[in-house]
Chain A
């Protein structure tokens, strides 16, 4: 007993200041990419060729980076001869539509808060059922970590629950394997309406690396409607938390 108390004092208070204070991210963190049109050569498509997930396309001289597919692997920056693609430290990337997950020559549209009615329902208490449907356990792990003392998700009224019947929504990871399709549908049906669906990670958003595999689907959106998309492979826990808090209207600034 005394040992446990002593240890408790030693281990200290460990919850991060986010969202009131800016998050501490790794020095080599790869956040939202950016593209510099002035450096990009018209006759080159080295980055498009290098990308493992076809996240890059070029039309009318504008490079389009689909964050829904992006693994943040920097193979494109390695391939680019002029340094036209770079990765910023911007962790805010969650959107409320699949189409908004795009970096091109237009401003990036982050997810907006739920409407008033939904906010009244979920704003103070959001119970989520997590479904891993072909996730590699990295997305799962960094969702799970939100429940530790470090991120202390429950201070925002968000909790993961064991049964879909107790849940207000689902948080999906993985491309949705064919073998998990039925289980995901059943879990969705078992969740009472109105409900929220969050897709976490390149797999759940777009199928990621597995998008063209016969064994998998192209993400959760192919099976059920999605309300929040959080890109990354896996997204940093802060990026996931930021997305969830935007949905609840706790973080509003763009």
Chain B
């Protein structure tokens, strides 16, 4: 196999070191690697020369490195998707952002519904004078006398972000679900260009507000890598503690929401409260329940005093004990298990082929966890076991979360007990010019990938964010195949993906 330059998670290299391959070399190199078990962590276009550079970041989980390569295109190239299904959403994004057509893509549609970033280009040749209407596009249709279509959203029943779902049904049975997003598109990636400036860290924290710590950590790692700065050990430990509390809050909330969707109100009600208690634990660190303004390039902004550390440990311990009590009710209640088991199954093969990440992948037997496979910061020395279950159903996705809650609680206690002394901040050096850095963080939904590329003056010329939801939305669509439409809320909650994290 051709060798490619590789970096560790949170490492930078000169852009010139990323080999520029011909299109046919690029396809061969990427496809043979995917066939060999590497994954696409990121794949995107960036203006370069008189065309667009396509850059691939491939995760080699076995060896714990990221492999990089690029190629140059003008208007079109032969799509990777027919041979590597996990490329499909990335290629739709490339088409939408840069007007590059991945030829042979089986279902080339916009994903966010915004005008093309490259003047005068449009992958679909749309009329420039007409506004682009969100989610107004072709949908996959099943025909037949007894087939009906159900359309839901953008405004849904609950307090939830907007998206559009189209079901092709035969009676109660879902033959196909198609998910279209884009309603939450705020243009954050583009706004970050020419930074980092005083807004950048704030933008990053709002990419997906429920993953503030995850995204802020990825951003901090990328900027630190570009400048060759390392955050002090104490800051790294505090970031990891905050990230695990974020996981606790969201996993606990999800377990409650799953209970709610099968009408099991005790656990739903208890977990609703407990999730808030975990959010309050984050607020204990920094005053904000979502961890806003805590993580910054160079370190963290708030220290943990001994008194606050003791209080934090005490709270995590009591909240965990109540969570255990609330969640165990799920496994003890046959009517709950009957609804969880065998619902929304995604096979290991499909999960790997689609490139799923996070708990959704692990619940289908795909044993991936950035904390172990490509560790950064505190996780380099302190491991959290990867939880993986083979069943691939709602039950497995619930169970994985529960096991992860237990592991996070243990991790937090151990980190705080062994908290390194010293500073919590180190002034980050200016980003080096013409460099590229990749940062991966295992957020509660899975792999968060930030790629930062600087121009000749060290400013960000490109910033690419891949939220775990970007990989996983299609997994939800697949999970619905052959299910009852009434199981949609349950399946949806078992993935609980981010709309704004996808729409950016």
Listed in ascending order, the chain A residues whose CB lies under 8 Å from chain B are 3-4, 7-8, 10-11, 14, 26-30, 49-53, 71-75, 129-145, 147-150, 160, 162-164, 174-175, 177, 179-180, 182-183, 187, 209-210, 213-216, 233-234, 236-237
Listed in ascending order, the chain B residues whose CB lies under 8 Å from chain A are 112-114, 133-134, 154-155, 157-162, 182-187, 191, 198-199, 202-203, 206-210, 212, 266, 269-270, 272-273, 275-276, 279-280, 283-290, 292-293, 302, 308, 322, 325-326, 328-329, 332-333, 498-500
Contact status B273-A148, CB under 8 Å: yes
B186: which A residues are within 8 A, CB to CB?
134, 175, 177, 210, 213, 215-216
Contact status B114-A26, CB under 8 Å: no
Q: Nearest residue in B to A30 (C-beta to C-beta)?
A: B287
- Given A129-B155, A132-B184, 4 more contacts at CB 8 Å? A29-B283, A29-B287, A52-B198, A134-B500
Contact status A174-B290, CB under 8 Å: no
B199: which A residues are within 8 A, CB to CB?
52-53, 209
In the complex, A3→B331 CA distance in Å?
Answer: 11
28 A–B contacts from the bound complex (CB under 8 Å): A3-B332, A3-B333, A7-B329, A11-B270, A26-B287, A30-B287, A52-B199, A53-B202, A135-B161, A135-B184, A135-B500, A136-B500, A138-B209, A141-B210, A141-B290, A145-B275, A145-B276, A179-B114, A179-B134, A179-B182, A180-B134, A182-B133, A183-B155, A183-B183, A213-B187, A214-B187, A233-B292, A234-B289
- Find the residue from B185, B302, B308 having the highest chain A CB count within 10 A: B185
Contact status A140-B283, CB under 8 Å: no
Contact status B292-A73, CB under 8 Å: yes
Distance in Å: Cβ of B313 to nearest Cβ of chain A: 16
Contact status A71-B202, CB under 8 Å: yes
Partner of B269, one of A73, A133, A148, A164: A148
Contact status B198-A50, CB under 8 Å: yes
Contact status A180-B162, CB under 8 Å: yes
Partner of A177, one of B185, B210, B279, B322: B185
Contact status A28-B184, CB under 8 Å: no
Distance in Å: Cβ of B230 to nearest Cβ of chain A: 22
| Leading 9 A-B pairs by shortest Cβ distance | A138-B209, A28-B287, A136-B209, A148-B272, A162-B157, A26-B283, A215-B187, A179-B134, A136-B206
Known: A26-B283, A135-B500, A215-B186. A140 touches B325 (CB 8 A): no
In the complex, A14→B428 CA distance in Å?
Answer: 44
Contact status A149-B329, CB under 8 Å: no
Partner of A139, one of B187, B208, B209, B269: B209
Q: Nearest residue in A to B154 (C-beta to C-beta)?
A: A183
Known: A177-B184, A210-B186. A187 touches B155 (CB 8 A): yes
Partner of B290, one of A134, A215, A234: A234
In the complex, A41→B283 CA distance in Å?
Answer: 32
B208: which A residues are within 8 A, CB to CB?
136-137
Contact status B185-A4, CB under 8 Å: no
Known: A14-B273, A148-B269. A26 touches B198 (CB 8 A): no
Contact status B283-A143, CB under 8 Å: no
Contact status B325-A11, CB under 8 Å: yes
Distance in Å: Cβ of B470 to nearest Cβ of chain A: 15
Partner of A150, one of B185, B272, B325: B272
In the complex, A129→B160 CA distance in Å?
Answer: 11
Contact status A73-B293, CB under 8 Å: yes
Q: Nearest residue in A to B250 (C-beta to C-beta)?
A: A141
In the complex, A187→B154 CA distance in Å?
Answer: 10
A215: which B residues are within 8 A, CB to CB?
114, 185-187
Contact status B276-A148, CB under 8 Å: yes
Contact status B154-A10, CB under 8 Å: no
Q: Nearest residue in B to A136 (C-beta to C-beta)?
A: B209
Contact status B209-A141, CB under 8 Å: yes
B280: which A residues are within 8 A, CB to CB?
26
Contact status B184-A134, CB under 8 Å: yes
Q: Nearest residue in B to A141 (C-beta to C-beta)?
A: B210
In the complex, A75→B293 CA distance in Å?
Answer: 9
Partner of A149, one of B160, B272, B286: B272
Distance in Å: Cβ of A235 to nearest Cβ of chain B: 10
A162: which B residues are within 8 A, CB to CB?
157-158
In the complex, A51→B333 CA distance in Å?
Answer: 52
Distance in Å: Cβ of B446 to nearest Cβ of chain A: 16
B198: which A residues are within 8 A, CB to CB?
49-52, 75
Known: A30-B288, A71-B202. A7 touches B209 (CB 8 A): no
Contact status B159-A4, CB under 8 Å: no
A143: which B residues are within 8 A, CB to CB?
159
Q: Nearest residue in B to A187 (C-beta to C-beta)?
A: B155
Contact status A52-B202, CB under 8 Å: yes
Distance in Å: Cβ of B459 to nearest Cβ of chain A: 17
Contact status B202-A177, CB under 8 Å: no
Q: Nearest residue in B to A232 (C-beta to C-beta)?
A: B288
A7: which B residues are within 8 A, CB to CB?
266, 270, 325-326, 329
Distance in Å: Cβ of B81 to nearest Cβ of chain A: 25
Q: Nearest residue in A to B285 (C-beta to C-beta)?
A: A28
A26: which B residues are within 8 A, CB to CB?
280, 283-284, 287-289
In the complex, A137→B187 CA distance in Å?
Answer: 16
Q: Nearest residue in B to A210 (C-beta to C-beta)?
A: B186
Partner of B161, one of A14, A30, A140, A187: A140
Contact status A144-B159, CB under 8 Å: yes
A73: which B residues are within 8 A, CB to CB?
202, 292-293
Contact status B286-A28, CB under 8 Å: yes
Contact status B284-A28, CB under 8 Å: yes
In the complex, A133→B326 CA distance in Å?
Answer: 33
In the complex, A135→B369 CA distance in Å?
Answer: 28
Known: A26-B280, A183-B183, A215-B185. A132 touches B329 (CB 8 A): no
Contact status B209-A150, CB under 8 Å: no
B302: which A residues are within 8 A, CB to CB?
28
Distance in Å: Cβ of A251 to nearest Cβ of chain B: 21
Contact status B322-A10, CB under 8 Å: yes
Distance in Å: Cβ of A92 to nearest Cβ of chain B: 17
Distance in Å: Cβ of B210 to nearest Cβ of chain A: 5
Distance in Å: Cβ of B275 to nearest Cβ of chain A: 8
A149: which B residues are within 8 A, CB to CB?
269, 272-273
Distance in Å: Cβ of B83 to nearest Cβ of chain A: 32
Q: Nearest residue in B to A213 (C-beta to C-beta)?
A: B187
In the complex, A139→B210 CA distance in Å?
Answer: 9
A179: which B residues are within 8 A, CB to CB?
112-114, 134, 182-185
